Amino acid sequence: MNRIKSLKITMVFLVFCIMISAGLLTWLCFLFLYSAGIFSIPVLAPIISQLIALFVSIVIGTSISAVASENILKPLNQLIKATKIVSTGDFSVRVKELSSRSEIADLLRNFNHMTEELGSIEMFRNDFINNFSHEFKTPIVSIRGFAKQLQNDNLEALKRKEYTDIIITESERLTNMSANILILTKFENQRIITDQTEYELDEQIRNCIILLENQWSRKNIEINLNLEAIKIFGNIEMLSHLWINLIENAIKNSKDNGNITIECHETLDDIAFKISNDGNGMDDNTLKHIFDKFYQGDRSHTSPGNGLGLSIVKRIVELVRGEIAVESKINQCTTFTVKLPKV
């Protein structure tokens, strides 16, 4: 506030000094001409009147500049206050925008956009920490609790088996999560794809479906295939992770006795893979964060999964310089489309 005030005073004083300097310079010029005998007093009379008028204009001009500087510096003062608030970690602050197209108006609009993005990043960071903690803490607490129950010598055989099965399930959950974290970390640090070979893509997709048969048969899901015979040049292991995670995601979000449709065809420019499932669908907010690490549309975390599968999918698509898109309708269907470039 003090800096803005001093800047305002400096601007007004600078304008005043410039106008005074111009007036004094004019006066000195006429004084020199008078001393040189070029002008006489009668001739200087109207000039003196003009100098008086100039002095009055200086006063008026300085006053106008003071008012103008107030209007110019007010948005800057507002911006400085808002910046101090942002520095404390509060990203909800907004400044009043101007309707003009000036540089200051652009600055205010950009500031509001920046705080909005920072707020979104902060929210995502908090969600990430909460989800990460939940995904690791829950199975560990569960394993510890049931392991203590197993120490009871009087525990019934059925209960002992039930608790043992829970411990095995939670251990497998931790194992899968750790494996996914390692896979994602590996792909995130990878820049060049190695060990590429030509192979039959349609057969690879069929093998991935067979690998997940226990999951989709448990929910009595019907798999509809429309796969062209396609040969692709790529890393077999990497693309297997791509298809498995997409199919697992479709199974997880499908209704019992539902349908999953998988298509793959070749165009002039790329290879298109599409997988659709009928289920609950996703809203716009879920679609916005669907590829974020540990993000799950099911905020209760009752559904299987750890929120890493689609993050792996996204990173693999980026590595192969492909494209991925998702469309979803609430209570209807969700469709993922992956386009891989031809090598």
Domain ranges of the chain: 2-88, 131-188, 199-341
Q: What is the pLDDT of residue 261?
A: 93
Selection from 127, 119, 112 nearest residue 89 by Cα: 119
Selection from 267, 193, 273 nearest residue 237 by Cα: 193
Q: What is the pLDDT of residue 223?
A: 92
For the stretch 263-277, pLDDT in tens is 999 988 899 999 999
What does the pLDDT average to over 32-50?
59
What does the pLDDT average to over 170-187?
80
DSSP assignment letter at 279 = B
Confidence of residue 49 (pLDDT cuts 50, 70, 90): low
Q: Which amino acid is at 42?
A: P
% of the chain at pLDDT higher than 70: 70
Q: Residue 227: beta bridge partners?
A: 264
For 260, phi and psi rounded to 5 degrees?
A: -125, 130
d(CA 35, CA 80): 54
More confident residue, 8 or 171: 171
Q: What is the pLDDT of residue 321?
A: 92
Beta strands in the chain (DSSP E): 197-200, 222-227, 231-234, 259-266, 270-278, 323-328, 333-341
For the stretch 30-40, pLDDT in tens is 666 566 666 55
Fold of 199-341: Heat Shock Protein 90 (3.30.565)
Confidence of residue 280 (pLDDT cuts 50, 70, 90): confident
% of the chain at pLDDT higher than 90: 24
Q: Do 201 and 242 form a contact (C-beta atoms < 8 A)?
A: no
d(CA 23, CA 56): 11
Selection from 304, 221, 217, 209 nearest residue 256 by Cα: 221
d(CA 54, CA 47): 10
Q: What is the pLDDT of residue 89?
A: 78
Q: What dotted CATH number matches 131-188?
A: 1.10.287.130
What does the pLDDT average to over 176-187?
79
More confident residue, 93 or 327: 327
Q: What is the pLDDT of residue 171?
A: 86
For the stretch 150-163, pLDDT in tens is 888 888 888 888 88
Mean pLDDT of the chain: 79
d(CA 300, CA 83): 37
Tokens representing 276 are 């659709």
Q: Say if residue 333's pLDDT is above 70.
A: yes
Confidence of residue 53 (pLDDT cuts 50, 70, 90): low
Q: Say if residue 187's pLDDT is above 70.
A: yes
More confident residue, 76 or 48: 76
Q: Do 264 and 205 form a contact (C-beta atoms < 8 A)?
A: yes
Q: For 5-14, 75-84, 115-124, 316-325, which range has the lowest pLDDT when averaged over its residues?
A: 5-14
Buried b (16+ CB within 10 A) or exposed e, 264-300: bebeeeebbbbbbbbbbbbeeebeebbbbbbbbbeee
d(CA 216, CA 225): 14
Helices (H), 151-235: 157-188, 201-211, 213-218
What does the pLDDT average to over 318-327?
92
d(CA 307, CA 180): 10
